[in-house]
Structure 1
Amino acid sequence: MLKWTIIFFSLFQFIASKTIIIKAHPKNFEDNEIKEFKNNPPSHTEHAKMARWLVHNSEWMSIRSISTIPSIAGFPMVNVKAMADSEKEAKSTGIIYFYLTMLDDTAKDLSKNNKLTVLFSMDQSLYCTNKNIDPMEPTCARVMITGKVLKVQKSSKEHDFATKAMISHHPASVNWNEEHNFFLCKIKIAQIMVIDYYGGVKYVKVEDYYKADVE
């Protein structure tokens, strides 16, 4: 009898411990959840504003260059780059700032051909996924911005502004320049394409993009 009593209590303790662990999981998931955007997206009829809003609320972008890697030279190549258009909680500028280093193939590509396209998606924060909208659906907004990469002059006020913006969003960037010779860049925009609703791509004029108010 004593033997079965010991087995019963051992089994009860095992089940109880598993129950406690299971109950703890939702709290852990909640703490690690990627938060939604701090403000609601604009109407899908405001295409310039949508483009600016996506850029301002993003932390990174997909960047496409023409590869210089010998085995795939001339093919499109994609990468991910941290970016910012202003400091956190500051007014949007719409100017896309980011770092490059010649240790990275993207910088090598752009040193030969400085034309690029970058992509921003509303699902970067899982905004669409959390609303059961597939990231490929037109209602999960995305913007494709094409242009040329320009280096931000180190001695300029713009360089100071862009550095503060990047550090605000990406604290680790403080060490990037010293350790791997990163340098600040921006995009001279040539074309803006927005998909934020059914009916195909919408083209936004560059001047309308910069005029848009997302505050």
Structure 2
Amino acid sequence: ALRWTRVPSCVCVCPLYLQPYALCYRVRLRFTVTPLGTSGFSQCVCKAALLMVKFPFYSSGALLLALSSALRPSHAIPPHDEVARVARFVANQCDWASVATISTHEPVKGQPFSNTFSVSDGPVGGGGGVPYLYLTRMEISVQDLQVNPQASLSMSLAQTDFCKKQGYDPQSPLCAHVIFSGSILEVNGTEAEVAKKALFGRHPEMIDWPADHDWFFAKMNITQVWVLDYFGGVKTVTPEDYFNATPYKSLF
């Protein structure tokens, strides 16, 4: 039998009586409601409840599977008013970015020039917030950076399946995107090892890129963060608030 009891503070207590072993498990579940409606967490638990009715021998396993699925970082997009968390979330979810430099090449010398680069701030669900890049001095935008390291770097959840699933156009404010202002700087020593681990972990092809292309690791040195994740215009976040934010929060 399966009984659900709803109590205050959004806590749901579910005593599970599993036959034929006469075992009783008491599971305390805390729900969060996102602006998008029913959370993936509650959906997963509902599916688990169906499995419990049909397959009592595997009911505890079904619940654990549902809970582990619900706790995946991809389900934990922050509320739009927690702007710093949204920025960290986008930075961690996206694995490439548009980088704009001031061109040093004719016929567009002195004009903005945008290019695409693979980036990583670490593994999904465990990033540190710093966008790292793997660059070659042979690349046209990198040559711009050697003259003027100032740049902007932008990422959008349109690069993931989030906006498409929600029916959001990439230009919609609801399809969260972030623009970082600052400079792109080469990193060495211990930080280069951090960058290598972050990038090669999400872009394993990089390991086999030609060794004679003068590759080096770099980071976006963030001085300002711009976030558009809802109606009402762009919002700014200081680097301090950005790095202090926690993009993912456990339900427990």
Residue 206 of structure 1: CA displacement? 0.9
If asked which structure has higher relative contact order (CA below 8 Å, sep 6+), I would say 1
Aligned match of 2:141 = 106
Aligned match of 1:208 = 241
Choose between structure 1 and 2: higher helix proportion. 1
Amino acid at match of 2:181: T
Secondary structure at the aligned position of 2:146 is classed as helix
Residue 174 of structure 1: CA displacement? 0.8
Amino acid at match of 1:84: S
Please tell me whether residue 184 in structure 1 is matched to residue 217 in structure 2: yes
Aligned match of 2:178 = 143
Please tell me whether residue 79 in structure 1 is matched to residue 115 in structure 2: yes
Task: Say if 1:128 and 1:140, in contact at 8 Å, map to a contact too.
Answer: yes
Secondary structure at the aligned position of 1:199 is classed as coil
Q: Deviations over 1:139-180 (max 9, x none)?
A: 111000000111111xx1211121111111000111236142
Amino acid at match of 1:170: H
CA distance in 1, matches of 2:142, 2:196: 18
Aligned match of 2:66 = none
Structure 1 gap ranges (5+)? 1-36
Aligned pairs, how many? 177
TM-score, length basis structure 1: 0.78
Structure 2 gap ranges (5+)? 1-72
Amino acid at match of 1:71: P
Question: In angstroms, what is the RMSD of aligned CA positions?
Answer: 1.6
Residue 124 of structure 1: CA displacement? 0.5
CA distance in 2, matches of 1:165, 1:133: 29
Secondary structure at the aligned position of 2:162 is classed as coil
Aligned match of 1:52 = 88
CA distance in 1, matches of 2:157, 2:114: 19
Task: Say if 1:64 and 1:76, in contact at 8 Å, map to a contact too.
Answer: yes
Secondary structure at the aligned position of 1:63 is classed as strand
Specify whether residues 202 and 109 from structure 1 end up closer, same or farther in structure 2 by C-alpha distance, changes over 3 A only.
Answer: same
CA distance in 2, matches of 1:162, 1:135: 29
Aligned match of 1:170 = 203
CA distance in 2, matches of 1:71, 1:164: 38
Please tell me whether residue 130 in structure 1 is matched to residue 130 in structure 2: no
CA distance in 2, matches of 1:135, 1:179: 38
Please tell me whether residue 121 in structure 1 is matched to residue 156 in structure 2: yes
Report 1:14-33 matches (<5 A): none
Amino acid at match of 2:118: A
